[in-house]
Amino acid sequence: MNEQEKAVREFWRIFDEARYDDVRPLLHPDCPVYWPNTRELFRGSKKLIDVNKYYPGRWYIEVVDVISKDDTVVSVVRVYSKEKKESFYATSFFKFKDGLIAEITEYWGEITEPPAWRVTEGLSERY
């Protein structure tokens, strides 16, 4: 595991523990965070920290996978709420500069039931 992968795993550990301010040393101060699903941009580490502080409910993070190539690390995490029993997957692309996370692009997907037609037609299986 390289230093960038360690930083991403630490990023998610901090988020899992809801200690959002503690992520600041891992981030470049001007780090933009893109959420293409909702076409939102959070400019700078402070905005990323604040959006997570104010996000409703208590969320937990389970790291599914982390891979890296050059100055980019990709992570897949499951984000879940114990209270509401909701769950999402996030695939995140972390770009690094000078040892810090310099940019994040995250794609979010809800965990849902498959459409009935795919099950009825026998096209998919549950796992």
Residue by residue, pLDDT tens for the chain (127 residues) are 899 999 999 999 999 999 999 999 999 999 999 999 999 999 999 999 999 999 988 999 999 999 999 989 999 999 999 876 788 999 999 999 999 999 999 999 988 888 888 888 878 877 7
End-to-end CA distance of the chain: 29
pTM for the whole structure = 0.89
- 8 Å CB contact between 75 and 66: yes
Domain boundaries, the chain: 3-120
| Top-tier CATH class for 3-120 | alpha beta
Four-residue CA torsion sign, 53, 57, 58, 60: negative
